[in-house]
Structure 1
């Protein structure tokens, strides 16, 4: 079995990573978990996108590609030594690597135009396949720098945050946002009694338990955090709104509507909320967040409480 960071999608007619495949599936652009092929121009191995059809909340692993029977000429699978000649700039990467490091993940604040446009049915463009030069190891001295992941939605960062939190490695992993690196520890801010003036001026991913209420006459959902923030001498529970119009316009709205409806109709009405934004005072009695894109929001059920309590094998080994 070989590991791939990217695969060629028959339905989308392009080379994509597993996270984009996940979004395209939930947006209804692609539908087949096994409608992928090795991206190398030297290989036609069939590829499956594992967990493409599962909700993030229910995953043991993030979406990823699984493939078998690559050709001997394939240069795409991770961990396979690339074909190099003497004097090549890749010569060192084909030799024994002493240490492996991780590059920062990237959180893109805006998606490319027409990313969710369905491709016309017809013969595939074989010219889209190419040699995988971009996936060759980036070697500096004896260090092989493994490429970070490229994300367009907070939900993918939340999955990484949960993993690193359980591994007790939030400070060791970074995200690049608009050209600046920030650790997962600094990026994620729990909502808990902070004075507004003490919080960063830049956006962060604020998270915590919140109540979700549907307001039918205003076609809106109101989300109110359980814990407070401080504005002056007042302690206020911060909140934000999601309009049904905003939900309808979101290409991956299946991921949002199901949870909003289920939680708002429940007796408890609580969920874990993760929101990329920054809080601001709205008069003396309100603290609000702005939700600029539903890509900036992730909703998780309360069983995340139990998940966060479970240390990983790595965390246990490091203690």
Structure 2
């Protein structure tokens, strides 16, 4: 039985499995079994939550641990579908058409982990959970809110496979002239292939630029190099950006995880698909290890949440 959404006891929200994966790898939730069914409160686990993308045979997904109660709405909906009676339409707390992307620091603005000890705070959490679930049952819908590009990339790959890139949207900013008006970008327009892009024609708005590349070590930092960079006057220009250990990594909750993953990539000389979310791209130069000045295009990495990769 497909379980699209579940209540996270640690995050105190109804979330989808991609959000759960983001929270786990950012160090904000720790227990892959700390989920409950929205309808009958039975225990649910998030499969593949603790696995790297390259290790997965399937995407992260929720599944029941102990089975649903007999009167659970999910069972009733499934039975209606099997018997062909009624619509069997599932209720959804999360808007499946529009996702929201808001990059934040790994240490700022994130809900604290719930203390499971019985206390006044615990009683408050129970009331909050009840309010959220009641809203769900009444048809309240929210956007999936992501704080890094990691789940956005996974959804892009899925929508690309299903040929839905023009029908799914990302909400990333509001029009300053009309605060009530949301501006949504479809997945097709959000993702831009670096090697097919002229540096003089890049968008003034943030986009997710991608391309094959590698990561190397430079002193205590990491240099990310696209195999084929932005182009200008029909020529490809070397395109690189830096992951600065002090600026981007040192204050993260999951610093050791990031450090170990990057070190493994460098040591194994892994081939990657690189992603960076930015609107600040400039032509500059740097001095390489042979003390030679190299002209490059440098997309600025604002925060580690604006970067991700997939192994090829």
Name the TM-score class by shorter chain: 0.7 to 0.9
Preserved CA contact (<8 Å) 2:36 2:43: yes
* 2:109 counterpart of 1:110: no
Q: Who is 2:297 aligned against?
A: 287
User: Of the candidates 207, 212, 219, which is equivalent to residue 209 of structure 1?
Assistant: 212
CA deviation after TM superposition for structure 1 residue 163, in Å: 1.4
Partner of 2:21: 22
The answer to whether the 8 Å contact 2:6/2:36 transfers is no
Alignment gaps of 5+ in structure 2:
79-85, 174-181, 286-294
Task: Pick closer, same or farther for the CA change 1:56–1:271 going to 2, 3 Å.
Answer: same
Q: CA deviation at 1:20?
A: 4.0
CA distance, structure 2, for counterparts of residue 154 and residue 300 of structure 1: 12
Which residue among 145, 148, 153 is the counterpart of 1:153?
148
Q: Distance in 1 between matches of 2:54 and 2:274?
A: 12
Query: Unpaired runs of 5+ in structure 1?
Result: 82-94, 140-145, 303-319
Aligned residue-pair number:
274
Instruction: Measure the CA separation in 2 of the matches of 1:130 and 1:121.
Output: 16
Aligned CA-pair RMSD: 3.4
Q: Which residue in 1 is equivalent to 2:275? A: 274
Task: Assess if the C-alpha contact under 8 Å between 2:284 and 2:298 holds in 1.
Answer: no
1:54 pairs with 2:51 = yes
Cα shift at 1:287:
1.0
Secondary structure at the counterpart of residue 253 of structure 2: coil
Q: 1:128 to 1:234 in 2, by over 3 A?
A: same
**Contact 2:68–2:75 under 8 Å retained in 1:** no
The equivalent residue for 2:249 is 247
Q: Tell me the residue number matched to 1:262.
A: 264
CA drift at 1:228: 2.2
What's the offset of the Cα at 1:8? 3.6
3-state SS of the aligned residue for 1:103? Answer: strand
**2:157 equivalent in structure 1:** 162
Aligned equivalents of 2:103, 2:28: Cα separation in 1: 21
Tell me: CA distance 1:207–1:247, structure 2 relative to 1, closer, same or farther (3 Å): same
Change (3 A) 1:239 1:59: same
CA–CA separation in structure 1 for the residues paired with 2:32 and 2:90: 34
Residue-by-residue CA offset, 1:20-52 (whole Å, 9 max, x unaligned): 433443344543322322345xx3311112221
Q: Which residue does the alignment assign to 1:224?
A: 225
Partner residue in 1 for 2:37: 38
- Range with greater deviation from structure 2 (256-265 or 23-32): 23-32
Aligned to 2:33, the other structure's residue is in SS state: coil
TM-score (norm 2): 0.74
Contact 2:214 2:271 in 1 (8 A): yes
CA distance in 1, matches of 2:18, 2:135: 18
CA distance in 2: counterparts of 1:182 and 1:133, whole angstroms: 31
Please give the per-residue CA displacement for 1:92-113, whole angstroms capped at 9, x wherever unaligned. xxx7489999421221233694
Question: Contact 1:152–1:295 at 8 Å: present in 2 too?
Answer: yes
Moved more, 241-250 or 15-24: 15-24
SS in 2 for 1:224: strand
- Helix, strand or coil for the counterpart of 1:263? helix
